[in-house]
């Protein structure tokens, strides 16, 4: 049995950087080739053994629920045709995972979104995937790599990567001391610091493993950067009280919340697609 079974997907955000594409469609449904971002995320969670999927959604996000459900009309239409192969992956996901949803009614930050998911998680450790960070793991999926670190140290783990100094203001940034190759004990973390306030250029990307005490910590966390309840601030409290690890993952991340990252991801997957199908 995998130790962590649940993975939470905060997916209530508006995706304003992709307007007007995201006006009536969730940003998580934007496709990289023929697969929506959210499906890449769910496949990553599955690879880490997390098949109990929780999503924090909001208004206008129903396409997410429909995507992870059977479409009888479509099944009927393509049954027995050569097009069935296009549904093979999503059928497998629907067969192997369970999906639960709750809605965040107000946008009060990532910490608040994760707290909204408490009802889906309960009192067990869980993974968190921000689907607009699309990760391609080196061998093992990034969340699966993190689950290994969790299994060893049993504390919250955040994924990090080095970013240029002029980009630190877009991320949560950590300071820490290296415990083993690529694993840091966090001594400080700051949400979206100005370059001169940044404790390093090690930026948190959208992958977390959180211990369930995080919910009480978030409840006690006042609004931080941009007046929002930040998961980075709650993790900083956990780091002081207990221990939080930052893990420099092996693989590549595409910031699909930005047009540049989105296009880069498409190019990456298209190269791969050409090698396999072309
Ligand atoms: C969130 C977090 C930030 C993290 C980032 C990773 O920010 O608050 O700490 O570095 O995700 O993608 P957002 O991108 O939602 O503004």
pLDDT tens profile 145-186: 999 999 999 999 999 999 999 999 999 999 999 999 999 999
Which atom of ligand 1 is least distant from the CA of 110? 8
C-alpha 249 – ligand 1 centre gap (Å): 16
Residue 267 has pLDDT above 90, yes or no: yes
Given a cut of 90, is residue 54 above it in pLDDT? yes
**Nearest atom within ligand 1 for CA of residue 130:** 12
Which of ligand 1's atoms lies nearest the C-alpha of 204? 10
Binding site membership of 233 for ligand 1 (Cβ less than 6 Å)? no
Q: Could you give the count of Cα atoms lying within 13 Å of 110 in the half-sphere of its Cβ? A: 22
Where residue 1 falls among pLDDT bands split at 50, 70, 90? very low
**pLDDT recorded at residue 86:** 87
Place 84 in a pLDDT band, splitting at 50, 70 and 90: confident
Best CA proximity match to 60, nearest among 100, 98, 11: 11
pLDDT at 142 exceeding the cut of 70: yes
205 CA to centre of ligand 1 in angstroms: 7
**Model confidence, pTM:** 0.96
Q: Is the pLDDT of residue 143 over 60?
A: yes
Cα–Cα distance for residue pair 100/34, rounded to 1 Å: 24
Q: 75: pLDDT confidence band, cut at 50, 70 and 90? A: confident
pLDDT of residue 85: 87
Mean pLDDT throughout 42-71?
A: 96
> Which atom of ligand 1 is nearest the CA belonging to 205?
6
Q: Which fold has domain 6-277?
A: Spore Coat Polysaccharide Biosynthesis Protein SpsA; Chain A (3.90.550)
127 Cβ inside 6 Å of ligand 1: no
| Beta carbon of 171 within 6 Å of any ligand 1 atom | yes
Overall average pLDDT of the 118-125 stretch = 97
Residue nearest to atom 9 of ligand 1 (CA): 172
Share of the chain above pLDDT 90, in %: 89
Indicate whether 45 pLDDT > 80: yes
Atom of ligand 1 nearest to the CA of 132: 12
Confirm or reject: Cβ of 10 under 6 Å from ligand 1.
no
Least confident of 28-32, 50-54, 64-68, 72-76: 72-76
pLDDT tens string 189-240: 999 999 999 999 999 999 999 999 999 999 999 999 999 999 999 999 999 9
pLDDT at residue 2 in the model: 55
pLDDT beyond 70 at 101: yes
Q: From ligand 1's centre to the CA of 31, what distance in Å?
A: 21
* Mean pLDDT value across residues 116-129: 98
Percentage above 70 pLDDT, the chain = 99
């Amino acid at each position: 049995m995998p130790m962590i079974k649940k993975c939470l997907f905060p997916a209530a955000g508006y995706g304003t950087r992709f307007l007007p594409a995201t006006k009536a469609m969730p940003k998580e449904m934007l496709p990289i080739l023929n697969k929506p971002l959210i499906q890449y995320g769910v496949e990553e969670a599955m690879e880490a053994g997390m098949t109990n999927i929780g999503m924090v959604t909001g208004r206008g996000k129903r396409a997410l629920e429909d995507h992870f459900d059977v479409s009888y009309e479509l099944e009927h239409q393509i049954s027995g045709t050569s097009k069935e192969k296009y549904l093979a992956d999503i059928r497998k996901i629907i067969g192997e995972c369970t999906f639960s949803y709750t809605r965040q009614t107000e946008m009060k930050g990532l910490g608040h979104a994760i707290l909204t998911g408490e009802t889906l998680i309960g009192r067990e450790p869980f993974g968190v995937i921000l689907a607009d960070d699309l990760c391609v793991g080196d061998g093992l999926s990034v969340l699966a790599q993190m689950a290994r670190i969790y299994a060893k140290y049993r504390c919250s783990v955040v994924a990090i990567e080095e970013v240029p100094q002029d980009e630190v203001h877009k991320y949560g940034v950590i300071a820490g001391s290296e415990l083993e190759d690529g694993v840091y004990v966090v001594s400080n973390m700051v949400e979206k610091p100005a370059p001169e306030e940044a404790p390093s250029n090690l930026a948190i990307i959208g992958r977390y493993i959180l211990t369930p005490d995080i919910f009480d910590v978030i409840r006690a966390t006042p609004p931080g950067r941009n007046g929002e309840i930040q998961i980075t601030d709650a993790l900083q409290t956990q780091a002081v009280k207990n221990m939080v690890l930052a893990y420099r993952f092996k693989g590549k991340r595409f910031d699909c919340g930005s047009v540049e990252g989105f296009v880069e991801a498409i190019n990456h997957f298209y190269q791969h697609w050409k090698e396999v199908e072309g």
